[in-house]
Amino acid sequence: MPRIEDPPTKPKRMTSWKVWPRAASTITEEIRTLISEGRSAQEITRAAAKVGFKPLRYDGLKKVLLGLTTIDEIEQNTSFEWAS
């Protein structure tokens, strides 16, 4: 009698919001000052990029390439902003 194999499993999906807590550790004194002064999102994003911050969308797209999430999920849960 032929053996019935388990169906192939898909990689476990990870939602994009699970990466957010990591960003809290990148708030430097400069970023804290910009926030408290009410500076623009562009200025804050630029300062964060200097210390290695990557936007949530960037991390999400890496997870799409690994098969952990979908483009649709990234589109629904992140915004597209230029950090210039």
Per residue in 11-51, pLDDT tens?
A: 555 544 444 445 455 689 999 999 999 999 889 989 988 98
Looking at the structure of the chain, the number of domains it has is: 1
> Average of pLDDT values for 56-68?
92
Per the domain annotation, does 61 fall within a domain? yes
**Which range of residues forms the domain containing residue 28?**
17-77
- Cα 67–Cα 72–Cα 75 angle in degrees, nearest 5: 115
Contact residues for 52 (Cβ-Cβ < 8 A; gap 6+): 26
Contact residues for 81 (Cβ-Cβ < 8 A; gap 6+): 41, 42, 45, 55
Per the domain annotation, does 45 fall within a domain? yes
How many whole angstroms separate alpha carbon 27 and alpha carbon 20? 13
Per the domain annotation, does 1 fall within a domain? no
Per the domain annotation, does 63 fall within a domain? yes
Per the domain annotation, does 69 fall within a domain? yes
Report CA 13 to chain centroid distance, whole Å: 14
Give the pTM. Answer: 0.52
Per the domain annotation, does 64 fall within a domain? yes
Tokens 């053996």 sit on residue: 3
